[in-house]
Structure 1
């Protein structure tokens, strides 16, 4: 892996996980030393993060981790719904049933993952990421997939603002299973509807969590 790719991957993950909080200044010398890269690949990584909307340049401060706009969550989910629902339709149309059959079996064990001693829910979210990747592969539309990837980046940051509710996560696992069932069956309308339901409940949960736990 190139040094710039490695720096980008580490910084992106730290921003999405909240390790690098909004407003943190990413000083070139300090970050290059911390990541074990020279300043040139670090600048390349920061340029990519700027394109992602995760950092921005400020005169007199340098590169800063961007704030998360709570006020615009609804707008983000409007875009996400349009893209995710279309992706589900296309996945149901073009899928390899065997791929989603395997995911269905894994989702049936999602509750077991949620009961493990894993406060960050790494295994559960890794399973969700596999589902996203399978849908992306089935879509066979690089323009849709690349646009959706940018939206998911910001959704991941927003999710960190809400507090994981075990009950909601189990409910979400059932919703993911509904989406997979529809894709396996090749039902475009049902896949889109199940996706719409999941996103509606996800948005409602995030807004409710932020309201109950303002920061």
Structure 2
């Protein structure tokens, strides 16, 4: 693996997982020492992260991890709803029912596993499999490219919400409904179930991050 790719992957993962918090200054010298690479690969990695919106160049401070406001989250979800609802509808129209029938079964099993306290990480991997299936079967490379660019920002936004077991169970059921609609070849239902899921997900993030009052700030 190239040094710049190594630096990029490490920093990308740390930012998305909130190990590097919004506003953190990313100094090239310190990162070079921590990652075990020279400053040039670090500089290349930071340039990629800035292009993706995960970092921002700040005059006088160098590069910092981008802040995530609730308004930004709302805007991201407005775009996400448009893109993902369309991707689900296109996948339903273009007919790969067996793929999504299998995913539906896996989400139904995941719902049962989450209810019994089993692996959350396994569920997240399954969600990634659904993303990959929609990317593959929606048949629109421009839509897929835009979604892939958006996902790191969405992953950061999701980390703002607390992992309530009941919400994860509900999410698994919502994903199963999306898969069922796509498998049935019903584009309108596929779009509608996707919209419901994303609306619920956004509301969960907002509920987990209530606006601060003047009293909270003092």
Q: Tell me the TM-score normalised to structure 2 length.
A: 0.90
| Corresponding position of 2:101 | 101
Contact 2:105 2:176 in 1 (8 A): no
Displacement of 1:134 in angstroms is 0.8
How is 1:116-127 mapped onto 2 (pairs within 5 angstroms)? 116=117, 121-127=120-126
Report the counterpart of residue 207 of structure 2 in structure 1: 208
Query: Are the aligned partners of 1:104 and 1:177 in contact in 2 as well (CA < 8 Å)?
Result: yes
Aligned equivalent of 2:14: 14
1:5 — aligned with what? 5
Shift, 1:116, TM fit = 4.4
- DSSP-derived class of the 1:20 partner: coil
Deviation at 1:113, TM superposition (A): 4.5
**Cα separation, 2, equivalents of 1:23 and 1:117:** 35
Supply the distance in 2 between the matched residues of 1:13 and 1:113 (Cα, whole angstroms): 27
Matched residue, 1:165: 164
Partner residue, 2:135? 136
Structure 1 residue 103, shift from structure 2 partner: 1.6
Whether the aligned pair in 2 keeps the contact of 1:113 and 1:123 (CA below 8 Å) is no
Distance in 2 between residues matched to 1:95 and 1:5, nearest whole Å: 37
Between the two proteins, the alignment pairs up a number of residues equal to 213
Deviation at 1:112, TM superposition (A): 4.8
1:212 and 1:111, CA in 2 relative to 1: closer, same or farther beyond 3 A? farther
TM norm structure 1: 0.91
Deviations 1:127-161 (A, max 9, x none): 11111111011112221112122322222111111
| Consecutive unaligned residues in structure 2, runs of 5 or more | none
C-alpha distance after superposition, 1:73-98 (max 9, x if no partner): 22221111111111111111224333
Partner of 1:62: 62
Which structure 2 residues correspond to residues 63-78 of structure 1 after superposition, within 5 A? 63-78=63-78
* Partners of 1:144 and 1:157 in 2: CA distance: 21
CA offsets, 1:18-74, max 9 Å, x none?
A: 000011111112112222222222211111100110101112211110100212322
Query: Residue 38 of structure 1 aligns with which residue?
Result: 38
CA–CA distance in 1 between the matches of 2:9 and 2:140? 24
The question of whether the paired residues in 2 share the 8 Å contact of 1:17 and 1:160 is answered with: yes
Instruction: Call closer, same or farther: CA 1:97–1:117 in 2, change over 3 Å.
Output: closer
Moved more, 192-201 or 94-103: 94-103
TM-aligned CA distance change 1:100 to 1:210, over 3 Å: same
Matched, 1:147 2:146: yes
- CA distance 1:139–1:2, change in 2 (3 Å): farther
SS in 1 for 2:25: coil
> 2: CA distance between counterparts of 1:95 and 1:14?
38
Alignment partners' CA distance in 2, 1:65 and 1:49: 9
Cα RMSD between the aligned structures?
2.0
> Aligned with 1:63: secondary structure?
strand
